[in-house]
Structure 1
Amino acid sequence: MTGNIAVAYKGPGKVEVIEIDYPSFELKDGPGVNPANIGRKVPHGVILKTVTTNICGSDQHMVRGRTTAPKDLVLGHEITGEVVEVGRDVEFIAVGDIVSVPFNISCGRCRNCKEGKTGICLNVNPDRPGSAYGYVDMGGWVGGQSQFVLVPYADWNLLKFPDRDQALEKIMDLTMLSDIFPTGFHGAVSAGVGVGSTVYVAGAGPVGLAAAASAQLLGAAVVIVGDLNEDRLAQARSFGCQTVNLTRGEPQDQIEQILGVPEVDAAVDAVGFEAHGHGKNSGTEQPAAVLNSLMSITAAGGAMGIPGLYVTGDPGAKDKAAQEGSLSLRLGLGWAKSLSFTTGQCPVMRYNRKLMMAILNDKVQIAQAVNAKAIPIEDAPRGYAEFDAGAATKYVLDPNGYVLGKK
């Protein structure tokens, strides 16, 4: 038996590195664990020694106190690891494999999984379809911002890298396969991005930057990224995107200056429910601002990909409707323009193998695009604070010294 340290939510605005139990092949009671999952046996799982685990904007929603996350919930759903133990029912994954873990936990057995809808698996969360590691109301599977983590249904869930040495050499890119790269790619694909497309991405955080890089990979002619944060916009420009600074007004006029018309073929919402207004309202939280803006700037017959997170419960919202996830949408405008909308968790397994091949064959440099930076797990509180303050950085935690070296 060995020790285990992890990053835990300690209350609004606060995370700490704490000691937790080494994982076993059984779900035990703990912060956020659904009572119906307590005692659940996991002979189909593996225990990973974490290679990298990333801080995500979705984690920040909880840390800001914008969800019902309980104190001491272990965070982290972006996980890459080395297999150190396998359950008795695991056939095809072996000790020593380096693997990427989709943030969606899925069983591979239910109707939705068999249809490729792995973001809404029916069997892993007793409350509702869909689950994830270290996330509120997602069944209580312990998060991966830790030295060791349990992954269920390993033969189904894990993406094994073909060569260990190559994987470790490219680990800062490959770590993005657990969430933000497939999520950004899903946003671009569901927005209909293809060769010659003009694309607007709302939000220059890591998911927005991943969506922009994905749009380029898909052949977009012009990718425009909008945000209120000039440092993040500079990061978007660093790999060839055009940018719109929303503190200067609505995006339509600035898009017209770039394209000659005030609209785009495809749009991606990489912001979610903590959206703010534009121009003179840029300091005001307006949860529907991005969605309504995208309906205005997307050409008739176009599509919107919405990987940005929207929640059913937001106790920090300013009005009762938003606290229940009810937003004032201009749905009539979207209907009149025959726009298509795709929402929900990205089904990571739909994309991660293909994106792995793009990384391994140098077709994309996703770590560079999102400005990835590795830090020790002990520095996680600093990483959270800097990311929350608007740093144009994707923080990658290194719990076991694979990236920064052994201590």
Structure 2
Amino acid sequence: MKLAVVGGGSTYTPELIDGFARLRDTLPISELVLVDPAAERLEAVGGLARRIFAKQGHDGLITTTSDLDAGVDGAGAVLLQLRVGGQAARERDETWPLECGCVGQETTGAGGLAKALRTVPVVLDIAERVRRASPEAWIVDFTNPVGIVTRALLRAGHKAVGLCNVAIGFQRKFAALLGVAPEAVHLDHVGLNHLTWERGVRLGGPDGEDVLPGLLARHGDAIAGDLRLPRAVLDRLGVVPSYYLRYFYAHDEVVRELGTKPSRAAEVAAMERELLAMYRDPALEEKPELLARRGGAFYSEAAVDLVAALLGSGAGGPRLQVVNTYNDGTLPFLPDDAVIEGQAAVDAGGPVPLAVPEPDPLYAGLIAHVTAYEDLALQAALRGGRDRVFRALLAHPLVGQYELAEGLTDRLIAHNREHLAWA
């Protein structure tokens, strides 16, 4: 089985390699190709990847290339983990929205729209080349904003599934608090990418006992601390929101915080320089502890489970996993072609979302609102134009005022002109 990772020079990649090595019985890989135009980064990451495989006794071949078409040729699955514009673009996404009093973040709000506008055309070009080289290949998108990018891929007719590590992170956290194996924990996970709520934590499967009330009663302070939200908010909601909901539930507080400290992009850029120096050390044969601070925890386990299911490597029928895919009536207040994030039964035919009770209006309304924004954002990414950018920003619940939308539109275009063919 051949797999390709586009964006293989990312500092995330050793996390993925470690999972492939440890879980080779779940996903047997004969060849893994890391594809990236950044030759120096690719050499460092590729060298460590080979050493990780060798140390863990994996006999799969790891190759590196800057030739996308050759790299994806014959692949059964292609993983996308790229950042158009690099950390410099992320730094801008996290700073210029603050000039308008809006949250600066790379996937949420105005910064998230900028990332979508840069990313969607590039990903669609890559996907077309994958389709020509390997028509049956599955595309697994880990590239943010995952919901919008996945929607673009699906609308263009690609065999694509979006993947995020938020759900598996909660699963691992809750399992540790409960003292059970992670696979025993099933999440009632509902929403959109980076806009999700855990409505239940069930033991043994989707029909198991819901232990979320007890978890909140015993461990609410710790869970709230991780989310940086008051414990009282969790108690009143009765659910666990993803940490991205803090940008909505405490927007002004977050904006004040962001204005008083270095950006996350600056922190990550410094971390990446240190990680790449480590990766070049020929004595390093495992992912370094510093990588856990980079982000993407448990990404490898989620990716292995998903690819194994899509390629028919899993045993015992479809695998239940949280993914991003078409709504198809799952949430009746959204269009069928909206992309939601939730539990799905995944096999070689692709993901089929599980039926869920209709969400509480408290968050159903926000889901519908952000879905409308994502539709406008995708139109702007596909067709360009200042007016489409303005409309998407005006529709975003973190913007919603015409003067803010005007100012943000001007800044977005000014800071991203080199990546916008129409600008």
TM-score, normalised to structure 2's length?
0.32
Determine which structure has the larger strand proportion and give its number: 1
- Provide the TM-score with structure 1 as the length reference: 0.33
